[in-house]
Structure 1
Amino acid sequence: MTLDSAVFRFAGVVVLASLALAHWVHPAWLYLTAFAGLNMLQASFTGWCPAATVLKKLGVRPGASFD
């Protein structure tokens, strides 16, 4: 698995988990969905993603987008 696919998988898990928590626990969990979306938007402009930095330090091999 490359860093790119790991970041996309992590973002997908965060979005789906926050939607489930908003449905079954409290609607305020939708703020986490908004945060994930804003983070993906900023990463598309800057090329930097906090999750990519953490995953890289954990040893996930580099991909094409996040080195």
Structure 2
Amino acid sequence: MTSWQIVRIVAGTFVLLSLALGVPGSPIFVSPWWLAFTAFVGVNLLQSGFTKWCLMESILRKLGVQPGC
């Protein structure tokens, strides 16, 4: 897998998990504050789309994960 694929898989997992933890109708609801984490992930994805830089992708590349095209 390439670094950009891993970033998107992790971001999608974080969004789904934080929604499950933050929406009151969810069977694993904890607190509505988990929705702030959803917003944080969304802001980071938006920022990386405009700047073409993502901290997690930089870290993955330093760990030896192949960059994507």
Q: Which band: TM-score by shorter chain?
A: 0.7 to 0.9
RMSD: 1.0
Higher relative helix content: 1
5+ unaligned residues in a row in structure 1: which ranges? Answer: none
TM-score normalised by L of structure 1: 0.87
Between Structure 1 and Structure 2, whose CA radius of gyration is higher?
2
How much has 1:49 moved relative to structure 2? 0.6
How many pairs does the alignment contain?
Answer: 64
Question: Stretches of 4+ moved more than 2 A in 1?
Answer: none
5+ unaligned residues in a row in structure 2: which ranges? Answer: 24-28
Choose from 32, 36, 39 the match for 1:27. Answer: 32
TM-score normalised by L of structure 2: 0.85
How much has 1:51 moved relative to structure 2? 1.2
